[in-house]
Every structure is written in structure tokens, then in C-alpha cells.
Structure 1
């Protein structure tokens, strides 16, 4: 009698999993939220599992920062008026989305606004707004929008459950205002969201925030909802992360400065990080970092045209022959701080002290250059951080024969593209384009990755410079992948 073959075990089919992020404009009103919810349903009706990550309603984050500053300055009346306006806006949206006056959603919104009012009053009493307090206050934007998205999904027949970033498992360090996730975050997020997905729920995560080991609310920096989405995507090993925007994807330049800018079909993780770092506001600069280890694609899609593919971000994006540069981007509002003098000559620890001090103060450097004589070091920072940077440098500079100068009204322009690697003449074309517009270069930097060349120029010249450089690299026509 012949032996019977062992039965083959066929693993069950795993449904497709997407993480969808919706920005402030797409959460800005009941109508916008309803449309965003419909984009989620487009996928769920096909059997796709979706985790939703939401930003605050348009303008709410800026409003929260403004009222927090007003409370610190003693203007509690203004702060309370702003809270009342904000409360009315969220109540109205909830009502228009179908919430009854005695519903759980309305009760949650009322309780959160009361907690916000108490937090702001504490700042007013102390006349002190610490980074930790600021994070607590500014987090209410996303915490208030998450129940609204859950409500809209319920109206579309989807079971959902909303969570703060901390409740979803995002654990961060204590760099309030610009926190980073701790390694344990990914296991925590998977444990907490897998259960909801398994129960047929669509989780709605309030973006931009996490919590510290001690349970304090922390934020991931402006634009941090993108970061939340990719952290969740990496934790769940999602098939893709989709970030819905009110634009068609990454553009070859800011269309407000360059009307002939076009959508870029495909970018690499490295190209996206360079673009985001140097001023393209489509994504948080660190957004793709959680996805790299797992090779998870990220797609930037237009909510107005959901059938359009948008920009796909992958490990190895296609670069066509002769396409050295894919995009031109710029950061405005920059200052150059130059440290110079005999006290820096031949004293390497001075430079080390400078960078150690800036790291402790969590100050981001956009560009760095040092003269060949080592007699000066120039640092490009956002103008909003310039005074804080100079103040931070006073300690390591004390007692040395050094001078600090600040040049304001600066912008950083960068060209980005993997095709620049090993391609001769790229810098010459950049400098030639700037010379055509008679633009003076203040600083120059090229990364060792050869993905970008950046230059500091006067801010008044940046729009004309961007247009000229965009044309010089043949980006005024269709921009292929």
C-alpha cells in the first residue's frame, strides 16, 4: 500500500494593509472630513485593511501656539476667546457629521476643551511656557480631530476606534517639540493596533504626538503626522503608506514660484529626505526613515483626484539617462551665523564645542562651512532659531578671541537627484544659472551622497533663482520618473 502524501498547509490569504494619513486641509471642515472618510471606504470595500492617521483641522495648530504664547504673556482673555472659537468649530463639525448633542463624540470634545482651558490657565498663572507644556497644549489639535474622523467613518458604515499617539503605542524620548520614537515603539504599536484590526475596526490615530516613558505627551515636530503614519506603517509591515494631500504629489519645484513645475512620478527614500529637509513641505524630513528597513513604499496622493497615481517613494527609484536633477527646492527665512577670529585657529576643540552645544540645544543646522584657513566657521540656521543659537554659543566662546556675526535675509536653494552621482558638470550648470540672474552665492555645500548641492543666497533672489535653475536642468517640461 503506497504511502499517502502529507497534506499541504496553505496559509490563509492576508488582506492588503494600508496606512492613510490625512493632513490639515483634508480635516479642515465637516465636508473635508466626510470626503476623507470616503477615501478610506474606497479601499475598505475592496477588502483592504486601513489604519487612519489624522492631522489637526486647518489652522488649529497655529491657533494653539498663539493662545499658549498669549497665556504666557498674561493675556488670558485672548487665550480663552481663542479656545471658545476652537470649541465652537469642533462642535459645529461634529454636529454637521451627525453627532447628537448628548453623543459620546460631543462629550469628548467638551471634556478635551475643558482640559485645554485648564492647561492654558496653568501657563497663565505661572507665566511660563515650557516645551513640555507647549507640547501638551498643541497636541489638542490632533486629539480633537481624531473623534471627528471616527464619526465620519461611522456614518459610512465603518466600525472605528480613535486613539492618541501614546495610546497607539508611540513611545518617544523627552525632546519635547521634536521628539523621536524609541525602539520599543514598533512592538507596542503592532500589539495595540493588531487587535483592533483583527476585530474588524478601522483605527484612527491622532498624528504628530507620542508619549514619554513617564506618560507625558510629546510631539514629533511640525509635519509630524507624516512621521506618525510611517511609524505605524513600519510597525504593522503595511503594504504601503498613503499620505493624502491637496497636491498631486512631489513637484519639481514649488508651483507658486515655478508655474511650470510638474509632478515627479517616482523618488527614492534618499531623494525624498533631501527634498523634505531642504524645504519641500510635502513630507516631514524623517517620515521615510521607519520605512527603509522594511522597503515599504510610500505614496503621496491627491485627495481631489484619487485615481491619479501621485508620487511613489521606494528604495531604488528609476532615474532616466541624462536626468541628473529631479527637483529644485528652497528654504526661506534663514540666517548665517559666522564665528571667526584668532581663537579658532589651530584649536579643533572649539569647533567640537560649537557642535556639541548646538546638539544639546536641539538646534538644526541647514548648512555648515569652514574656511580653508580654519579661521571661521559659518552656520546656516532658521532665522527663528538665530538668537537662540547665538545665546547657546556664548558659553563655548567665552574667554576666546572670537567674533560672532549674523547675516539675515538668507535662503538656501538646493538641487536634488540621484542622477547627480558621478555626473560631470552639474555644479557648473547650477552656478551658471545663478550667474545668469546675477545672483551672489554666500555658502556652498554638497553632501557626500551626491544627492544634492545646496547654496545660500539672498532671500530676495530665491524665486527668480529657482525658476532659472529649474529651466537650466530641463525641468520645465514633463518630469518623468
Structure 2
């Protein structure tokens, strides 16, 4: 059981104004990989669903793959492409044993429907991987099909756990649930028709008294090809379903208490954030807070559906509530400090860029064509260079892509690696003087050099590029400078 920490002011770390609320009529609950990682974890996750259904709430469940399975699928797909079919088959066998063991521990008989489903899916996976091996080619479409099996395999396990609690259920893939996407494999986006399709397919199950269990992270194209929504896409799946059904709330169950004011591994005194706006969450998710997929809140905004990030270890704690309203305490300009490590800055410079607007257009067209995500953009006042901050994993591909269309323009493409992007986020920054000065002063006090600066016109975020080795120190110092540290705990009185 959780024992609340007692602070000097007599309050507890678990006291929040949003703790009490009326039970919703319809909830969408998403469970991440850790909460699907073993039979014990799945059983506990199922009990959290039952807590709500016994109160008369209808629930749609969206599940992630078991912990580590997505990475395992990516490894075996790569192994098949390089011709190492033995390694790929070994990984499939390990995965099959893990899912069979979990099913057995959850009470499945050897001839049960769950076991048959798992066996058939592993055989389909094996065939898909063998096709990659024969062709020695792993297309984005094939990769999406293979990696989708993580969620496909976990959905029957959740269905089994719920059935053990006498809950009638039915599991579906994302495509079967109605999630229709474009054909941008690996990072697909839902099409407008998705919401009506999801409503048509899931409302009937709910009306029949069934609890739908949807395999997250995936959808399908109009031609039926499996797509994935990007890493962390199960959050996105859950909010798509929530928006389609006009749910009262979407709950994402995590192994953390919600959004924190900083990464607790870098800042031990980071504390839970009680409430955030949709805009603040998108900034935090985009700039390294891995609690949610960056696009997760977008389906909810139109209908104003709240999102709640809750801890599975302490289900009575309210967690972080995400709504359309930006609630800011008096004097609180910044709510969180976050950092992305493993960043590279690519600079395009030279006389050929001066007074030639189409050069900048070509740069961004190239990045869009290569599906490269920008973290920050900066242009010098002389317009002689443009700097682009991207994830280091995309740096080599970005440089190669840029050099082709820019050839012959007397331009130079340079790269600086080993960097990080630190960002401060909060609606209270809007119109508040001195925020930038406090940020820069905290960094200067620790002799941390700023390489690049960016601030959006929304004034929700200020971002700076710094040396990667300074990221944790910078996060701690900035967190302290903005008064975000939790009070030092003292021993509770006997």
C-alpha cells in the first residue's frame, strides 16, 4: 500500500483538488506495456477495469504489447532482412513461450480459445517474417504488420483475465475496432471516417453488455493493410476511441503517478502536476515527457473530453487531469522542465541562401518528404543560415537528403552532435515578464552554454539546445529556479 509522505506544511503528496469526482458512465482505459508485462500485471490491470464496471460504468479497454515485445519484434524483423532466420525464429519461439505461459497462469486450458488464438497469431507472424527473409527486404508496410503482433497477442490475454472476473468481453485489432488511417506506415494518422467507424463497431458490443478489448497502436488503411500510429501509439488509439464514443473520460493507466514537473531520475524533488491543459500536454509530450504520445490529446479537444493519467499502483490517487482549461496557481509561470537527449543540430549556411526564399522551402519540403521530425528551428537575422534540431538517429539521413536538392547552390551543411533540447512549459508564461531571464540565468550560473533558442508565439514553451552532457544538471537547476521542487519530506508523527 502507498503511504503518503508528510510535508512541512501538513499536506500530503496525494492531496489534490481533482481527487473527488462522480463515476463516469463510459470510460476508455488504456494499459501500457508494464501493466501488460506478466500474468500478475494483467490480472491487476483487469481488476482496475472491474473496479469501474462494478459501479455501473461501461468500459472500453485498449492494451499495449507486453513489456519489451515491440523491441523484440523489431529485432527479429531486422534479423530476417539480413538473412538470419535462425535468430528470428528463436525470438519468435521465446515470444510464443512467454504468451503461452501468461495464458496458462491466467487460467487458460490447453485447448482454450485463447491458446488457439495465440498459436494462430504466432504462425501468421512466422510466415510474415519468413517472407521478409526470402525477399531480403523489410518494407515499412511489412514492418508495421510484424510489429503489430505485440498488441494483437496481448489483447486475448486481457480478455482472458477479464473473463476470469466474470466479465463478458470481445477482443479486436485496431482495424477491426474501426481505426482507419492513411498509408503512412510507421506513423499513420487517422482519417476523418475513423470516428464513425469506431462508433458503429463498438457501440453494438457495449449495448450487448460486452467489454471491448482493443489492440492499441494499430489501424488499417482503406485497403485493409495494417498500419501503426508511431511509438507510444496506444495512447493515441485510446483517445481516438474515446472521441468516437464521446466517452466521459479517457484514463491512461501507467506505472507512474501522472505527469511530473521533471524526470524524477534527473530531479529527485520533482512532483506530480495535478492539472494540465491540452496545449501544455502536447508541449510536454513533444519535448521528451514520455508519459503520452504527442498527438494523444488531439482527438479529445473538439469534444472537450478529459484525459486522466493514473497510477496502477495507487488507483485511488487522482493522477494528472488534462482538460481544455489551463489552471495556473498564482505566481506559477512554469509547470514543468523537460529534456530530450540524443539531439543533433544541422546548419545550412552560405551566400546561396541570402535572398533566395525557395532554398528554405526546399529544406522543409525535403524534411517532410523524408518524414523527419523537427524539434527546433532557428534562422539567423542575416538570413545566411538555418539551424534544425532533430533526433540524432535521423541525422545522417537528414544530411544526405538535404545535400541532394541543395547541390550547386554554394551552401554548406554542417552537423553538431551530442546535444540535448531543454524546454520549460506552462501556460503561466504567457505575458509574464522575466521568464526567459530566469531560465538563462539558471543555466549561466552553472556555466552551461546555450547553442540555440526557440519560443513559440503561444508562449507555452521556451526551448534551448545545450550540450547533452549538461542535460541533467540543467534540468535540476532550472527546476529549482522556477520553484518547482517538492518540499523536503519530514518523518510523520507517530
Q: Which bracket does the TM-score occupy, shorter chain normalised?
A: over 0.9
Taking the aligned partners of 1:395 and 1:169, their CA distance within structure 2 comes to 40
Match of 2:341 in 1: 332
Residues 1:314 and 2:318 aligned together: no
Match of 1:407 in 2: 416
Residues 1:435 and 2:435 aligned together: no
Taking the aligned partners of 1:49 and 1:59, their CA distance within structure 2 comes to 30
Q: Is the 8 A contact 1:412 1:457 kept in 2?
A: yes
Taking the aligned partners of 1:233 and 1:15, their CA distance within structure 2 comes to 12
From 306, 312, 317, give the equivalent of 1:303: 312
Q: Which runs of 5+ in 2 are unaligned?
A: 1-22, 489-494
TM-fit CA distance, 1:394: 2.5
TM-fit CA distance, 1:224: 0.2
Residues 1:106 and 2:119 aligned together: no
Q: Is the 8 A contact 1:240 1:297 kept in 2?
A: yes
Taking the aligned partners of 1:367 and 1:54, their CA distance within structure 2 comes to 32
Taking the aligned partners of 1:286 and 1:15, their CA distance within structure 2 comes to 24
Residues 1:159 and 2:168 aligned together: yes
CA displacement, residues 198-233 of structure 1 (integer Å, 9 cap, x when unaligned): 000000000000001111000000000000000000
CA displacement, residues 135-184 of structure 1 (integer Å, 9 cap, x when unaligned): 00000000000000000000011000000000000000011000000000
Q: Is the 8 A contact 2:24 2:249 kept in 1?
A: no
SS of alignment partner, residue 431 of structure 2: coil
Taking the aligned partners of 2:486 and 2:157, their CA distance within structure 1 comes to 41
Taking the aligned partners of 2:269 and 2:24, their CA distance within structure 1 comes to 40
Q: What number of residue pairs does the alignment pair up? A: 466
SS of alignment partner, residue 369 of structure 1: strand
From 20, 24, 42, give the equivalent of 1:33: 42
Q: Is the 8 A contact 1:411 1:459 kept in 2?
A: yes
Match of 1:261 in 2: 270
Residues 1:136 and 2:151 aligned together: no
Residues 1:425 and 2:430 aligned together: no
SS of alignment partner, residue 238 of structure 2: helix
Match of 2:80 in 1: 71
SS of alignment partner, residue 422 of structure 2: strand
Q: Is the 8 A contact 2:24 2:248 kept in 1?
A: no
TM-fit CA distance, 1:395: 2.7
CA displacement, residues 46-78 of structure 1 (integer Å, 9 cap, x when unaligned): 000000000000000011011111111111111
Match of 1:246 in 2: 255
TM-fit CA distance, 1:461: 0.2
Taking the aligned partners of 2:194 and 2:400, their CA distance within structure 1 comes to 35
Taking the aligned partners of 1:249 and 1:403, their CA distance within structure 2 comes to 44
SS of alignment partner, residue 386 of structure 1: helix
Match of 2:226 in 1: 217
From 125, 129, 144, give the equivalent of 1:120: 129
TM-fit CA distance, 1:15: 7.2
Match of 2:390 in 1: 381
Q: Is the 8 A contact 1:262 1:478 kept in 2?
A: no
* TM-score normalised by L of structure 2: 0.93
Q: Which runs of 5+ in 1 are unaligned?
A: 1-13
Q: Is the 8 A contact 1:338 1:379 kept in 2?
A: yes
Correspondence list, 1:441-460, <5 A: 441-460=450-469
SS of alignment partner, residue 98 of structure 1: coil
Taking the aligned partners of 2:190 and 2:183, their CA distance within structure 1 comes to 10
110-119 or 37-46, larger mean C-alpha shift = 110-119
Taking the aligned partners of 2:26 and 2:333, their CA distance within structure 1 comes to 35
TM-fit CA distance, 1:478: 5.7
CA displacement, residues 97-146 of structure 1 (integer Å, 9 cap, x when unaligned): 11111111101101111111111111111111111111000000000000
TM-fit CA distance, 1:477: 2.3
Taking the aligned partners of 1:460 and 1:130, their CA distance within structure 2 comes to 36
Taking the aligned partners of 1:311 and 1:425, their CA distance within structure 2 comes to 28
Match of 1:341 in 2: 350
Taking the aligned partners of 1:366 and 1:240, their CA distance within structure 2 comes to 30
Q: Is the 8 A contact 2:451 2:466 kept in 1?
A: yes
Taking the aligned partners of 2:302 and 2:328, their CA distance within structure 1 comes to 22
Taking the aligned partners of 1:304 and 1:15, their CA distance within structure 2 comes to 21
Instruction: Please give the root-mean-square deviation of Cα atoms over the aligned residues, in Å.
Output: 1.1
SS of alignment partner, residue 152 of structure 1: helix
CA displacement, residues 338-359 of structure 1 (integer Å, 9 cap, x when unaligned): 1111111110100001101111
Q: Which runs of 4+ in 1 moved over 4 A?
A: none
* TM-score normalised by L of structure 1: 0.96
SS of alignment partner, residue 466 of structure 1: helix
Taking the aligned partners of 1:236 and 1:157, their CA distance within structure 2 comes to 24
SS of alignment partner, residue 88 of structure 2: helix
